[in-house]
Amino acid sequence: MEAFIASTFFIMPRVKLFDENEVLTKAMNLFWKQGYSATSVQDLVNCLGINRASIYDTFGGKEQLFRKSFELYRNINLEGVIHFFDNRPNVKIGFSELFHNAIQEDVLDKDNKGCFVVNTTTELIPNDESLLIILEKNKQDFEEVFYNYLKKGQESGQLKTTHDLKSLATLFYTLYNGIRVVSKTRPNKKETADSINVALSLLG
């Protein structure tokens, strides 16, 4: 009987004492702030409040945790823009607010993190081919959201532009990311606002 109890005890599954989503969010913010290379496993242990074994058992290690953190950021960001546009029926105003909000968010960010996608691109590309595929997918996803929003504005008669909407979607995605880069260097707000207005003037 004692042997049975002992064997039963040892085969019981290990219970996680932490919330994986909460830990992943913390990891995302740490990688976003410090970058991949500058973040050590010990940094993750200190920030996440779990031991090394739990990091490897649950997430597979630093690289896998980074990729899952990056995917979390990507999904949150994309879903946030979709929701943002859904609540702004005026397309021209919607893009204007999106661009100006990007400036304001970066100005108010004390950690000066910028955009996690842009940061990752400049740090790890072109050396990481698999990550490049993810970044290209991210670009395609955002451009599709921008295109659908522009198309909605055109079909409703809001936009009088004669420019190709897919080209405009690519331009606006480039501008959106460019704002996040420039905003890290304390830009001239008027110059940035003027550039935004020039881009928006293409909508007619």
Model pLDDT for residues 173-200, shown as the tens digit of each residue: 999 999 888 877 766 788 888 999 999 9
Does pLDDT of 47 surpass 70? yes
- What percent of the chain is modeled with pLDDT above 70? 90
Better-scored residue on pLDDT, 15 or 138 = 138
Report residue 2's pLDDT band, with 50, 70 and 90 as the boundaries.
very low
| CATH for the stretch 14-66 | 1.10.10.60
77, 82, 132, 144, 186 from 119: Cα distances, Å: 14, 22, 13, 22, 17
52, 110, 197 from 106: Cα distances, Å: 33, 8, 19
Better-scored residue on pLDDT, 180 or 161 = 161
The pLDDT of residue 171: 97
Does pLDDT of 12 surpass 50? no
Give the residue from 164, 166, 163 showing the smallest Cα distance to 146.
166
| CATH for the stretch 88-204 | 1.10.357.10
DSSP, residue by residue, 55-98: HHHHH-SHHHHHHHHHHHHHHHHHHHHHHHHHT---HHHHHHHH
The pLDDT of residue 8: 47
Domain positions in the chain: 14-66, 88-204
The pLDDT of residue 110: 79
The pLDDT of residue 61: 93
pTM, entire model: 0.86
Better-scored residue on pLDDT, 164 or 102 = 164
Does pLDDT of 7 surpass 50? no
